[in-house]
Chains A and B, each alone.
Chain A
Amino acid sequence: MPKGSDIFLQNVSKVVVFIILAFALYLFFTGHGSPGGGFIAGLMSAGALLLLALAYDIETVRKVLPVDFKLVTASGLLIALLTGAGALFFGKPFLKHAFGHFELPLLGETELHTALIFDLGVYLAVVGVTMTILLTIGEDR
């Protein structure tokens, strides 16, 4: 990827990246009730990181977020798998979800759902996969 030199893009993306990430977070949590979910939130987060990579370069992304995205994928898959396996210990079939309404401080009555944990797995897997592919191809010369 060419060395980023567009000062406008760089300055704008400094702010925009966080807006996108925040929106992605919103999409992730709201997913069960309105449009959104782990998949789209994951893609959007990857999009934010991609914007960073385009505005600066891949080294910057690596410096800002020094994680191995292959491990992110792996942990996402593991979370999804374990959420599914969790049901087995309650004598339910694999991937049977449970939910309930709880009174939480600040948030009031909130629905908590094991599907959200599964969705977190999806989220991480999508971020990991997208970033692994992009960074691998992008760094290849």
Chain B
Amino acid sequence: MSLLHLLTLSPFVLAAALPLLGKAAPRLHKGWFAAVLSAVLFAALLGYSADIRAGSPIIESFAWIPSLGISFTVYLDGLSLLFALLITGMGALVALYSVAYMNSSEESLNRFYVLLLIFMGAMLGLVLSDNLLTLYGFWELTSIASFLLIGYNHRNQRSRYGALKSLLITMTGGLGLLSGFILLYVMSGTYRIRELFEAGAPLISHPLFLPAMILILLGAFTKSAQYPFHIWLPDAMEAPTPVSAYLHSATMVKAGLYLVARLTPVFAGAPEWFWIVSLGGLVTLLYGSLGAVKQTDLKGILAYSTISQLGLMMSLLGIASLAGIFDGEERLLYAAAGTAALFHLLNHAAFKGTLFMAAGIVDHETGTRDIRKLGGLARIMPLTFTVSLFGALSMAGLPPFGGFISKEMFLESMIETMHAGVFRLQTWAVLFPVIAWIASVFTFVYSALFVVRTFFGPLKEELRSRNIHEAPPLMTIPPLLLSALALALGLFPGLAAYSLIRPAAEAMMPIIPASGERLPAELKLWHGFTPALWMTVGIVAAGSVLTLTARRWVKGYDLLPRGLSINRFYDASLRFFERITVRVTSLYMNGSSRSYVKYILGFMLLVLGFILFRSTDVTFQVRAYAVIRPYEWMILLGLAAAALAVPFAKSRTVAIILTGTIGYLMTLMFVFLRAPDLALTQMVVESISVTLFLLCFYHLPKLRTERRAVRFRLPNFLVSVAVGALMTLIALAVLDTNPFDPVSDYYVRESYESAGGKNIVNVILVDFRGFDTMLEIMVLGVASLGIYNMIKLRRKATDVGSRHVEHEGEEARKEASVLREAQYGYDGPVEDLDASKPGAGLPGDDQADSLPDLDGSSPAEHSDRREQPEEDQGPADSRAKGGERDA
């Protein structure tokens, strides 16, 4: 464990300790803990920057699962440092902002900050991992944290929809990523990124190279919301604004960019990589900027703008990969695209963070984010107006802001691409600057609309009655700092260029420092009258005209066919898959536990029987068997008699006691066989399980009331006889068959020597196989919580419903149907499900029973009902009957 490891893991530690810290200091807002930790991490990471700038990356390794060759290696080079500073710096500002923004209840605040910290830790782990598998683990953890944060207002149906959508899309990409990593491993034999770089050229000609690349790009594109996987990002805006500012603009969505940049040394030089990354980026850039213009929600504009900006950076990374096939002057020329991408990354974090926070302030103070209802806020909120203006100007790419410099560099790179003359660029390269220009015009338009519609014009009637004022200082300071940063990056780009951007770009293209060159890092506000500058003049001119006439032409968007949208496709395919899975599942999940037992035993028969009869090692040596002594015969007879009597028992209690008898006789057997551990365990387990059975069956009706003529079923009979025979054979064969060297010798030898225990069983449990034990008790814990939930919380949905009813009496019916939909996701398939499972859809029955009642009755009745949940015995009864039908 090194300091760098501890830094990476500290957010997780704080996340675990946060609820306790909150109890220790109840008056303190929990955001402070997160803010302080992020600031400390930021400072600590900044301390490394001198080393990084000098070109000596820091590597610390820690064997995690040594037997599988998986280590937790943190590697800090320029690229990782840039991202890590972004994560912690933005984290500190967002946490500070959220202290004023988030004012929910104690419990949900805990949840919010725990998730935020988990995300921060995962994101740090992602950018610092040197091992592809740990990177993947952290990658998925960020998706999960994002899922839970989008669904933070989980009572809101749209939040849940957005959360699920983001999870499904990013997880699909994540699985692609994992497969891609595994393919890389197959090709190179290593999971370490640094070793992959050294594997170099032979990889390109490998037949798995292209599939690996496409799968990895699938991961990167879904995460970074590239077209056509961008659809989750606008829906993710249901998250609280600090989350949107942090995860969905500054950090998580850039994980895809990080991955592309990180793996550039592996894939650069392949034409497919260049085309997919740069073209995918350009399409996303154009699509996002066109989409942003028609949005009416402030956060909607920012979401589409984020998509578009991510596309811009992605396309630059694609062009930077051209540096891999040239050398000398030209290489530096294309490498500049990488510098531009990374510089824009910083600019984007600054201006988009500012704008998100400003949007949050506007929402917080006026209660709406709809630009049709906003206007004229410039005079009332001058500070918010100023920061928004700074942010928007930087976003539109105007001087003297950082966004201008990176936009110029972007345009230059696009023009440069026309001259590359490789990968059939001669024909198509003219598209690059054209798309870039059009997209930039629309970027200008939505940036202008954001400011103009919110802050200029007359104050709307609805807002006049509200006492709108500037937000509390804590909320204005973070965007103020960020907008200052946006300006500073324009005026003094050298601040970041030499210490952060150049090391990052060189880490992305290690071939450049390796060949003794240095990337030019002079970023300048004034370039002279270059073509890029003239393009910017054109952008401003066209953009201004379009902004002024926006109200007229935006209606044109309505003419586009809606049925073809990717969202429709997503919804439809989700419904389709649900229907298919329900149909497939109901083929074998028929609700009768007898069938399930049959499947389990059937598979056991097949697998074990196959092994038993195919393997040549299995022998039956009758001589090896011990003599059965008379008292053992007695126990055996007792066992057989008890077992045979169970099916003929007239009442459940008798049946349970008979099974208990078998267990206790087994205990006796273990005693005779001198296995005290087994005997003890068997005895206690038997006692407790008999009691448990009695408790369970106490609720079931008497056995004879449901006694019907039991038909003889041949398959059941065959399965049971075969299982019995097979187990007997295995028991007989086990004595004499040892295809492998037994491990017991090792345990006998080592348990006292190296583990200091005389009881081998226990030493194995807590020491040799301690990991198994830990996971087992974890499974036990989860199982007990599952049982608890199933029994104690099953009527909770009704409570939720009635709470809604109290708030919105007339909307009860609607809420109830939303609720039902929420319960099942979609109502269609669930009905199928219920119909196909006579007894098993029990919670569903419960639901169906209570919801229609809820529709019709008055709120008062429901609040009564909630206080006395014992009253509605109905579902429980029907449950018992359901069970009866099964048995």
Known interface pairs A43-B685, A122-B777; 12 further A-B residue pairs with C-beta atoms within 8 A, sorted by A's residue number = A32-B756, A32-B757, A43-B681, A43-B684, A44-B684, A54-B691, A76-B781, A97-B770, A129-B777, A133-B788, A136-B784, A141-B699
Known A44-B684, A126-B777; contact A95-B771, beta-carbon cutoff 8 A: yes
Quick check: B755 and A140 within 8 Å, CB to CB?
no
Contacts of A73 in B (CB 8 A): 780-781, 784-785
C-alpha spacing A76/B778, complex, angstroms: 10
Quick check: A36 and B781 within 8 Å, CB to CB?
no
| B764-784 near A? 1/0 per residue, CB < 8 Å | 011100110110011011011
C-alpha spacing A121/B676, complex, angstroms: 23
| A44-69 near B? 1/0 per residue, CB < 8 Å | 10110010001000000000000000
| Of A32, A43, A81, the contact of B774 (CB 8 Å cutoff) | A81
CB distance from B121 to the nearest CB of A (A): 15
| Of A84, A89, A95, A133, the contact of B1 (CB 8 Å cutoff) | A89
Closest to B681 in A: A40
| A18-49 near B? 1/0 per residue, CB < 8 Å | 00000000010001111111111001101100
Quick check: B777 and A50 within 8 Å, CB to CB?
no
The reply on B668 being an interface residue by CB < 8 A is no
User: In A115-137, which residues have CB < 8 Å from any B CB?
Assistant: 115, 118-119, 121-122, 125-126, 128-130, 132-134, 136-137
C-alpha spacing A126/B770, complex, angstroms: 15
Known A43-B684, A47-B688, A113-B757; contact A84-B770, beta-carbon cutoff 8 A: yes
C-alpha spacing A44/B784, complex, angstroms: 18
Quick check: A1 and B778 within 8 Å, CB to CB?
no
Q: Please give the residue numbers on chain A whose beta carbons come within 8 Å of chain B beta carbons, in ascending order.
A: 1, 27, 31-40, 43-44, 46-47, 50, 54, 70, 73-74, 76-77, 80-81, 84, 88-89, 91, 93-95, 97, 99, 111, 113, 115, 118-119, 121-122, 125-126, 128-130, 132-134, 136-138, 140-141
Quick check: B766 and A133 within 8 Å, CB to CB?
no
CB distance from B181 to the nearest CB of A (A): 23
Quick check: B695 and A1 within 8 Å, CB to CB?
yes
Contacts of A38 in B (CB 8 A): 765-766
Contacts of A129 in B (CB 8 A): 777, 780-781, 783-784
C-alpha spacing A111/B755, complex, angstroms: 11
The reply on B585 being an interface residue by CB < 8 A is no
Quick check: A77 and B762 within 8 Å, CB to CB?
no
The reply on B50 being an interface residue by CB < 8 A is no
Is chain B's interface secondary structure helix, strand, loop, or mixed overall?
helix
Contacts of B680 in A (CB 8 A): 27, 35-36, 40
CB distance from A40 to the nearest CB of B (A): 5
Q: What is the size category of the interface that chain B forms with chain A?
A: 35 or more
| Of A32, A76, A134, the contact of B762 (CB 8 Å cutoff) | A32
Quick check: A134 and B685 within 8 Å, CB to CB?
no
C-alpha spacing A99/B755, complex, angstroms: 8
Closest to B757 in A: A32
Closest to B770 in A: A95
A sample of 27 cross-chain residue pairs with beta-carbon separation below 8 angstroms, ordered by A number, consists of: A31-B759, A35-B676, A35-B761, A36-B762, A38-B765, A39-B765, A40-B681, A43-B688, A44-B684, A47-B688, A70-B788, A73-B780, A76-B781, A77-B781, A80-B777, A89-B1, A93-B66, A94-B771, A99-B756, A115-B767, A118-B770, A121-B774, A126-B777, A132-B785, A134-B688, A134-B691, A140-B792
C-alpha spacing A91/B63, complex, angstroms: 9
Contacts of A119 in B (CB 8 A): 762, 766
Contacts of B580 in A (CB 8 A): none
The reply on B718 being an interface residue by CB < 8 A is no
CB distance from A42 to the nearest CB of B (A): 9
C-alpha spacing A9/B756, complex, angstroms: 42
Quick check: B695 and A70 within 8 Å, CB to CB?
no
Contacts of A128 in B (CB 8 A): 781, 784
Nearest first, the 5 A-B pairs at minimum CB distance are A37-B762, A125-B777, A32-B757, A99-B756, A129-B784
Quick check: A77 and B1 within 8 Å, CB to CB?
no
Quick check: A74 and B781 within 8 Å, CB to CB?
yes
Contacts of A121 in B (CB 8 A): 774, 777
| B63-76 near A? 1/0 per residue, CB < 8 Å | 11010000000000
Quick check: B687 and A125 within 8 Å, CB to CB?
no
User: In B692-711, which residues have CB < 8 Å from any A CB?
Assistant: 692, 695-696, 698-699
Quick check: A70 and B771 within 8 Å, CB to CB?
no
| Of A95, A115, A138, the contact of B757 (CB 8 Å cutoff) | A115
Contacts of B698 in A (CB 8 A): 1
User: In B554-570, which residues have CB < 8 Å from any A CB?
Assistant: none
CB distance from B767 to the nearest CB of A (A): 5
CB distance from A8 to the nearest CB of B (A): 18
CB distance from A139 to the nearest CB of B (A): 8
Quick check: A133 and B777 within 8 Å, CB to CB?
no
| B432-468 near A? 1/0 per residue, CB < 8 Å | 0000000000000000000000000000000000000
The reply on B791 being an interface residue by CB < 8 A is yes
The reply on B44 being an interface residue by CB < 8 A is no
C-alpha spacing A47/B682, complex, angstroms: 13
CB distance from B837 to the nearest CB of A (A): 22
Contacts of A31 in B (CB 8 A): 759, 762
Quick check: A126 and B791 within 8 Å, CB to CB?
no
C-alpha spacing A95/B787, complex, angstroms: 29
Contacts of B756 in A (CB 8 A): 32, 99, 111, 113, 115
Quick check: A46 and B777 within 8 Å, CB to CB?
no
The reply on B598 being an interface residue by CB < 8 A is no
Contacts of A84 in B (CB 8 A): 770-771, 774
Closest to A77 in B: B781
Quick check: A40 and B788 within 8 Å, CB to CB?
no
C-alpha spacing A39/B516, complex, angstroms: 63
CB distance from B44 to the nearest CB of A (A): 19
Contacts of B872 in A (CB 8 A): none
Contacts of B696 in A (CB 8 A): 137
Known A73-B784, A137-B791; contact A47-B684, beta-carbon cutoff 8 A: yes
| Of B692, B759, B763, B780, the contact of A36 (CB 8 Å cutoff) | B759
Contacts of A81 in B (CB 8 A): 774
Closest to B678 in A: A35
Known A119-B766, A132-B784, A136-B792; contact A77-B695, beta-carbon cutoff 8 A: no
Quick check: B677 and A126 within 8 Å, CB to CB?
no
User: In B464-509, which residues have CB < 8 Å from any A CB?
Assistant: none
Contacts of B787 in A (CB 8 A): 132-133, 136-137
CB distance from A67 to the nearest CB of B (A): 14
Known A73-B781, A118-B766; contact A39-B681, beta-carbon cutoff 8 A: yes
The reply on B545 being an interface residue by CB < 8 A is no
Closest to B786 in A: A133
C-alpha spacing A121/B780, complex, angstroms: 13
Closest to A44 in B: B684
Quick check: B758 and A122 within 8 Å, CB to CB?
no
Contacts of A47 in B (CB 8 A): 684, 687-688
Contacts of B684 in A (CB 8 A): 40, 43-44, 47
